[in-house]
Structure 1
């Protein structure tokens, strides 16, 4: 499989506090903001703080995940299944327009494989 892009994804307990920390205290520049999240430049990588997808009552904390962009998440799912990889959550289109599939590594880290559709805002040139 070919990985096109990646980022670290955090779902903080207090989204506004975490945005202030990364933006103001650490001094990271904002790459983009969307309704429920902020993406920061972090050298040759990105850090995304998601204000959506909070944890269920009684669930263990979910501090972060690895976001891996692929060309076709459904082909990637079939490829991984063919290798015997257990799919934690099957590929599907999310309300925010991305197609996502989840795999859990041996240490419990969530790998989110993402396909960005042609019409999605992540594919638009914002240099107007």
Structure 2
């Protein structure tokens, strides 16, 4: 148990190796619009940029859930073991913008049973991403069938 005033983890940082660093930065920072938080270079070709994505969560699903999401979100197209999901205000518009910036659309925006508008794209640095736009407030979603915490299921 941890002290509520001192959370055990302060930040989630996903670290990605990008063979085409410039293209990846242009896509995630410039096209997707993630603000640059920090950048480092130790000389030579060494470069890294840390982009601010706002609030981070870690979503852990079992294989059955992963297949269900793939079925709903991408017409069954299988996603990789790790996929990044970005909440956006306009899933349709951002999908088009990122497609224009070089992403390949795997699945067009679709309304999901959990009431979000989701699209799936293959993006630079070998990442598959989901864009999602929440269509209901969290309190409205919480009363829908299938929504419960693990504690509530026990």
Instruction: Give the TM-score of the pair, scaled to structure 2.
Output: 0.43
- Higher Cα Rg: structure 1 or 2? 2
Structure with greater strand share of residues: 1
Higher relative contact order (CA 8 A, sep 6+): 1
Task: State the TM-score, normalizing by the size of structure 1.
Answer: 0.50
Higher share in helix:
2
